[in-house]
Amino acid sequence: MSKHHNGDPASRYTRRDFIKASMAAGLLASPAPAWLSSVAMAAEEPSREVLTGSHWGVFRASVTNGRAVAIKAWEKDPRPSAQLPGVLDSIYSPTRIRYPMVRRAYLEQGPGADPAGRGEGDFVRIGWDQALDLVARELQRVRQAHGPSGIYAGSYGWRSPGKLHNCLTLLHRFMNLTGGYVGYSGDYSAGAALVILPYVVGSIEVYEQCTAWPVVAEHTQLMVFWGCDPMNNSQIGHVVPDHGAYPGIEGLKARGIKTLCIDPAKTQTCEYLGAEWIAPRPQTDVAMMLGIAHTLYAEKLHDQAFLDRYTTGFDKFLPYLLGQQDGTPKTAEWAAGICGIPADTLRDLARRFSRQRTMLALGYSTQRQHHGEQVHWMLITLASMLGQIGLPGGGYGLSYHYASGGSPTADSPSVPSIGDAADRLPADAWKGKQAMRSIPVSRISEMLLNPGKTYDFNGTKGIYPDIKLIYWAGGNPFSHQQDRNELVRAWRKPETIIVQDFQWTASARHADIVLPATTSYERNDIEQVGDFGLNHILAMHKVVEPVFEARSDFDIFSALAQRLGQGDAFTEQKSEMDWLRAFYEAARIGARAKGLEMPIFDSFWNSAQPLAFPLGKGKDFVSRQDFRADPLLNALGTPSGRIEIYSATIEKMGYDDCPPHPTWMEPFERLDGPTAKYPLHVDTVHPRYRLHSQLCGTVLREKYAIAGREPCLMHPEDAARRGLKDGDVVRVFNDRGQMLAGLAITDAIRPGVVRINEGGWYDPVDPRTPGSLCRYGDVNTLTSGISTSRLAQANCGHSVLAQVEKFEGPIPAVQVFESPRTH
* Contacting positions for ligand PGD (CB under 6 A): 157-160, 165, 167, 188-189, 368, 473-476, 479-480, 482, 500-503, 505, 517, 553, 684-686, 691-694, 758-759, 779-780, 783, 797
Closest CA to 497 of 80, 38, 138: 138
The count of C-alpha atoms lying within 13 angstroms of the C-alpha of 666, restricted to the half-sphere facing its C-beta, is 11
Q: Which of 788, 804, 631, 711 is nearest to 189 (CA)?
A: 788
Complete DSSP assignment for 140-167: HHHHHHH-GGGEE----S-----SS--H
Question: In whole angstroms, what is the distance from residue 267 CA to residue 251 CA?
Answer: 18
The smaller minimum CB distance to ligand PGD, of residues 389 and 515, is found at: 515
Sheet holding 123-125, edge to edge: 123-125, 101-103, 513-516, 496-501, 469-473, 151-152
Angle, helix 285-298 to helix 314-321, in steps of 10 degrees = 100
Q: How far is the CB of 679 from ligand PGD (least distance, A)?
A: 19
Q: Considering the complex, what minimum distance in angstroms separates the CB of residue 286 from ligand PGD? A: 19
Q: State phi, psi for 639 to the nearest 5 degrees.
A: -55, -35
Distance CA 47, CA 62 (A): 7
Q: How far from 769 is each of 65, 120, 445, 484, CA to CA, in Å? A: 46, 11, 17, 12
φ, ψ of residue 455 in degrees (nearest 5)? -135, 160
Residues of each annotated binding site: 158, 368, 476, 480, 523, 553, 780
Task: Write the DSSP string, 272-336.
Answer: HHT-EEE-PPTT-HHHHHHHHHHHHHHTT-S-HHHHHHHEE-HHHHHHHHTTTTTS----HHHHH
Nearer to ligand PGD, 138 or 522 (CB): 522
Cα dihedral: 792, 797, 803, 804 (round 10):
180
Which is nearer to ligand PGD, 63 or 236 (by Cβ)?
Answer: 236
Q: Which DSSP string do the residues of 192-234 spell out, in sequence order? A: HHHHHHHHHHSS--TTSPPSPHHHHHHH-SEEEEES--HHHHT
Nearest distance in Å: CB 265, ligand PGD:
13
Q: Find the shortest distance in angstroms from Cβ 159 to ligand PGD.
A: 5
Q: Pairing state of beta strands 738-745 and 680-683? A: unpaired
Contact 754, 721 (CB under 8 A): no
Instruction: Point out the residues that are catalytic.
Output: 156, 158
Burial 74-96 (b: 16+ CB within 10 A, else e): beebbbbbebbbbbbbbbbbbbb
